Amino acid sequence: MGACFGALLPQSCAPLWEIRGVLPKRLILIRHGESEGNVNRQIYETVPDNAVHLSKLGWDQGQRAGQVLFEIVGREPVAFIASPYVRARETLNAIKKGGDFNMQFWHEDPRIREQDFGNFQDTAKLMSEFKERKGFGRFYYRHPEGGEAPSDVYDRVSGFIDSLYRSFVDHPADNYVIVTHGVTMRVFLMRWLKQSVDDFNNSENPDNCDFVVLERCLAGRKYKLKLAQVVKPLTDPPTVLSAMPLRSSGGQSRVIRDDPPPSQ
């Protein structure tokens, strides 16, 4: 018997999502809003990367991203998948405040987390690693002490994409929205669009709450890059560094805010 069990089941080798015709109309990638770590890198010396919150501007960006997203999808069914990092989950909370979404389901997936740079990060040492990375090649440079290279992120994102097709079958929706991180977005596009390592090395991270919209061609399996970087309406000044105090999580459970903290 061949892989298709002869001619008995002529469609049995076709992917289930293709047989059922459940590919979403759009895949939308959104980078998290401005975080406290984007404002003050020293925070990573005392706060785990996964526990860093959004800044006030990041909450504003997230809600505006939700408004723009709702302009795109309206009341069409939408599914959300988010990185488990606090800043990504808080961005999703802010996005959901921006529109009356017809949300079918949401879940978090650790495979679309940020590239790991090690545990608590020494700022001066990390800057030295960034300089060394330029000579080594960005895609393959692995940060020491438990860190990752983008090539490692590519491997786990590839597994995520494989399970994403199963999710299309189990949870069909016209729109799949993925709230994640800059490098993760770039390797997702590299994998999905079959781009090269050179394409990755020549790309840069999107800005906070920037969009990438992949729209499915009519009656086809392929997606085209419809638009990118559509959220640029904010005129707020950068968040003041001193407004973001350093703190340790103390090993406690995640604190994911539903709303921005009161103004200081």
Of 90, 114, 129, 148, catalytic: 114
How far is it, in rounded angstroms, from Cα 192 to Cα 157?
10
Q: Is 18 noted as a catalytic residue in this protein?
A: no
Strands 175-180 and 26-31: parallel
Q: What is the pTM of this model?
A: 0.80
Q: Is 66 assigned to a binding site? A: no
Q: How far is CA 64 from CA 32, 67, 99, in A?
A: 12, 5, 10
Interatomic CA distance for residues 9 and 146, integer angstroms: 47
pLDDT tens per residue, range 15-48: 544 545 689 999 999 999 999 999 998 888 888 8
Convert the pLDDT of each residue in 197-210 to its tens digit: 999 988 889 999 99
Nearest to 212 by CA among 182, 252, 172, 236: 182
222 is in an annotated binding site: no
Using the 8-state DSSP alphabet, how is residue 28 labeled? E
The response to whether 31 counts as a known ligand-binding position is yes
Q: What's the CATH architecture for 17-243?
A: 3-Layer(aba) Sandwich (3.40)
Helix (H, G, I), strand (E, B) or coil at 209: coil
Residue 36 among known ligand-binding residues: yes
* Nearby residues of 217 by Cβ (< 8 Å), 6 or more positions away: 223, 224
Each residue of 112-141: pLDDT tens digit? 999 988 766 677 777 777 777 777 788 998
Residue 114 is among the residues annotated as catalytic for this protein:
yes
Sketch the domain layout of the chain as residue ranges: 17-243
Q: What is the pLDDT at residue 255?
A: 80
